[in-house]
Amino acid sequence: MSIDIDFTITPPALAEISEKREQAVSERAVYRKRNIRFHCTMAAITALYLAFLIIVVIPMMAKAQPDWGMITYFFPYFTLAIFVVGNDLHIKRIEKPSKALDKKIAELTEVPVDDEINTVINDKEQPEEIVSYMEKVTTQGRSLVRVEIEAIEKWHKASEKQTDK
């Protein structure tokens, strides 16, 4: 998670949450630029590859030169290798970090407190720790963020399991 939530201490300030969210948004913009640059590079490689096939290989095949016939036999495999390596690089260097940043941004967005808390906690009376934490958050003048809702949900499920035993 991007922010550690502890119900016994002071919740993170709005400035800290906004700073982390803005940092994640700016990092996400960098990955979007990398994604565009990657796709342009792959399109250029494909265009050069096809141009080489059309301009050089096909005319040589028309002249029935046996050396070029053997080389063209391997071109589909070379094409497959280009796209497999390119796709693997794209997933590792661009897609996975982008998805992690999207998750981080979603965790740091504010949510309507009443609706979310009521869906997380089915009790009529909310536990004292959660009420005091929510009071601390409201004194800061902000609403809960998604990561805090998830922490409350985990804490509530753990406390329910302990009371059931």
Closest-CA residue to 138 (of 8, 10, 6): 10
Rounded Cα distance, 151 and 162, in Å: 17
Q: Given a cut of 60, is residue 164 above it in pLDDT?
A: yes
pTM over 0.85: no
The neighbouring-strand residues paired with 110 are: 145
Q: Given a cut of 80, is residue 17 above it in pLDDT?
A: yes
The neighbouring-strand residues paired with 145 are: 110
Q: Stretch 63-82: mean pLDDT, rounded?
A: 75
Rounded Cα distance, 114 and 118, in Å: 6
pLDDT at 27: 94
* Domain regions of the chain by residue span: 14-107, 113-164
pLDDT at 62: 76
Enter the tokens of residue 62: 């028309």
Read off the pLDDT band of 1 (50, 70, 90).
very low
CA 1 and chain centroid, separation = 13
Q: Given a cut of 60, is residue 66 above it in pLDDT?
A: yes
